[in-house]
Amino acid sequence: MERHHVRRLRGALLALTAGGLLLTGCSAQDGGMSTADRSTDERGFPAAPEYDGDSGPDEQKNGDDSREFAPEPDLLSTFALDVDTASYGYARRTLAEGRLPDPSTVRPEEFVNSFRQDYDRPGGDGFTVTVDGARTAREDWSLVRVGLATRPAEDSGERPPAALTFVVDISGSMAEPGRLDLAKDSLGVMTDRLRDDDSVALVTFSDEAERVLRPTRVGGHRDEIHDAIDSLEPTDSTNLGAGVETGYETAEDGLREGATNRVVLVSDALANTGDTDADTILERVSSERREHGITLFGVGVGSDYGDALMERLADKGDGHTVYVSGEREAHKVFSQDLPRNVDLTARDARAQVAFDPKTVKEFRLIGYDNRQVADEDFRDDRVDGGEVGPGHTVTALYAVRTAPDADGHLATASVRWLDPRTRAPHEKSGDIETGALEDSVWSASPRFQVTATAAYFADTLRGSGDGRTTLPGRIRLGELAERTDELAATTEDKDVSRLAEAIRRASRLTDRG
């Protein structure tokens, strides 16, 4: 057996048994079972290695190194957490303009993660883990949802101070209504929400970058910050590379120990001047993350939008992206989400789901295509993961084909993260049994139905021309819109109402085509 394959199998063994190491956060169904309660190996899996919750990967006791085991076929799934929502926001924008979104811009996990969830929350930093599921109309196929939740966002007075460097695109394309004007208004509102001990810097870029405001404490300088924001006017072309480089240099100058240091990039991400090579721009973002812990928050605007570049920038910068198409979304992002969630509760967070070979024949993770992590790297804390703040939920949806008449343990989901201040590793796990699966997606809890609806919508927009199989249980958009209307009434959630409207628009455009 080749050496790398042996290493993979050993890593798979270590990761597969992660579910038995710590108490489960919670399971949404009575059929769930705490991993700490399974002292015997009733599933036939190898015994779990000891783990104290604080040691690094080299300090863990891996048991008998000579043992090699992995389920056949490989039933492990490992990915970095992602709280981006830009793909869904941009899809809604294009649908409102009477166009179907380019399938390449549709990322199902960002559709799913755009909606509130009802997962239990932990009391401190870290995550709870909820695993639930429901059977679909397709024989032996179910949808299994893995839900991770951080603690609620605290009052802004209790969080660490924030050192924010705003990098604002003022190129000619930003003159379009709903771009720079929206950004200026939103930044002004956000300035009034920040605390006196926060600091703000402002960098602009068009054909070149300019430092408009040095890192400045908010207390006693709000008028100066407002004046700098009000001075922004659109000019020429888009030198995104220069903007990112100057922005990070400015963030370095204003680096504050014990604070959350973050670059906030506001742009349509349509680089056309200077360094337009994505890899070069991304390397600067990645190196600053590694050296200084500066995270990136990308805010996309505009009907023409460089979605792929913005997403890659945020991934390299240990941050996330949102897309704002109007005043309501912009004010929510800048005046509520950003000031409240500038803190981090988890760094380099990764999830791994181990499906039981006794009950599961095959599975497919819906989305997270560019967030995959090698199974053996789940516990390698040198491997990049996702950064998650307070008040966030992360949802992963799986299509799972069970064995006929399968009964018993179905899957164990584990999340591993580093403490944002001490860098100590921690894990949580949760389980689901086959008996906990609801009889139908449409008889499951309302929030599970919203999750499934968002995934089905993304699956339809994405199409199957790229070789992907259709999500089991998918229904026509017209029927999906009707079910979403019912969910909007049940949940009394305006975001679900907007989802129903987006689905109706897509249905009309699809029928017209």
d(C-alpha 100, C-alpha 415), whole Å: 35
Q: What is the pLDDT of residue 204?
A: 96
Listed in sequence order, the residues at least 6 apart from 146 whose beta carbon sits closer than 8 Å to its beta carbon are: 129, 130, 131, 351, 353, 395, 396, 397, 398, 413, 430
State the SS3 of 463-494.
Answer: CCCCCCCCCCCCCCHHHHHHHHHHHHHHHCCH
Place of tokens 């695109």: 169
Q: What is the pLDDT of residue 65?
A: 32
User: Residue 291: in which H helix or E strand, if any?
Assistant: helix 278-292
CB atoms within 10 A of CB 512: 8
Show the tokens assigned to 63.
Answer: 């048991």
Cβ atoms of 169 and 241 closer than 8 Å: no
474-510-505-96 Cα dihedral, nearest 10 degrees = 120
DSSP result, 148-164: EEPPPPPPGGGSPPEEE
User: Strands 199-205, 162-169: parallel, antiparallel or unpaired by DSSP?
Assistant: parallel
Show the tokens assigned to 7.
Answer: 């290493």
d(C-alpha 104, C-alpha 466), whole Å: 10
Query: 392 vs 1, 22, 149, 169, 313, CA distance in Å?
Result: 43, 22, 6, 27, 20
Among 459, 464, 442, 458, residue whose Cα is nearest residue 499: 458
Residue 353's SS3 state is: strand
* Beta-bridge mates of residue 167: 203, 265
Task: Tell me the chain's radius of gyration from C-alpha atoms.
Answer: 23
User: Residue 452: in which H helix or E strand, if any?
Assistant: helix 446-462
Q: What is the pLDDT of residue 198?
A: 94
Q: What is the pLDDT of residue 509?
A: 95
DSSP letter at 48 equals P
Residue 341's SS3 state is: coil
d(C-alpha 288, C-alpha 296), whole Å: 10
Among 319, 292, 333, residue whose Cα is nearest residue 81: 319
Q: What is the pLDDT of residue 74?
A: 83
Q: What are phi and psi of 205, to 5 degrees?
A: -150, 140
d(C-alpha 270, C-alpha 364), whole Å: 33
Q: Which residues of 237-255 are buried (b: 16+ CB within 10 A; e: fewer)?
A: bbbbbbbbbbbbbbbeebe
Among 221, 216, 106, residue whose Cα is nearest residue 162: 216
Q: What is the pLDDT of residue 332?
A: 84
d(C-alpha 52, C-alpha 506), whole Å: 50
* Beta-bridge mates of residue 388: 346
Cβ atoms of 373 and 350 closer than 8 Å: yes
Among 209, 169, 193, residue whose Cα is nearest residue 301: 169
Cβ atoms of 122 and 150 closer than 8 Å: yes
How far is residue 430 CA from its own chain's centroid?
19
Q: Where are the beta strands (DSSP E) in 87-179?
A: 128-135, 141-149, 162-169
User: Residue 266: in which H helix or E strand, if any?
Assistant: strand 260-267
Q: Using one digit for the tens of pLDDT, what is the confidence trace for 351-366?
A: 999 999 999 999 999 9
Task: Collect contacts of 405-408 with beta carbons under 8 A, ≥24 apart.
Answer: 406/358, 406/359, 406/360, 406/434, 407/359, 407/434, 407/435, 408/43, 408/356, 408/358, 408/359, 408/433, 408/434
Among 458, 429, 474, 454, residue whose Cα is nearest residue 53: 429
d(C-alpha 14, C-alpha 63), whole Å: 9
* Beta-bridge mates of residue 396: 146
Burial of 235 (0-12, 13-18, 19+ CB in 10 A): middle
Show the tokens assigned to 393.
Answer: 């939920």
Tens of each residue's pLDDT in the chain, 513 residues: 333 333 344 344 334 434 333 223 333 333 333 333 333 333 333 333 333 343 333 333 333 332 233 445 589 999 999 899 999 999 999 999 999 999 999 999 999 999 999 999 998 888 999 999 999 999 999 999 999 999 987 655 577 889 999 999 999 889 888 889 988 998 998 899 899 999 999 999 998 999 999 999 999 999 999 999 999 999 878 888 899 999 999 999 999 988 889 999 999 888 777 666 677 787 778 777 778 888 889 999 888 888 888 888 888 887 888 999 888 888 888 877 777 667 888 989 999 999 999 999 999 999 999 899 999 999 999 998 988 988 899 999 999 999 999 999 999 999 999 998 888 999 999 999 999 999 999 999 999 999 999 999 999 999 854 445 689 999 999 999 999 999 999 999 999 999 999 999 999 998 864
Cβ atoms of 276 and 240 closer than 8 Å: yes
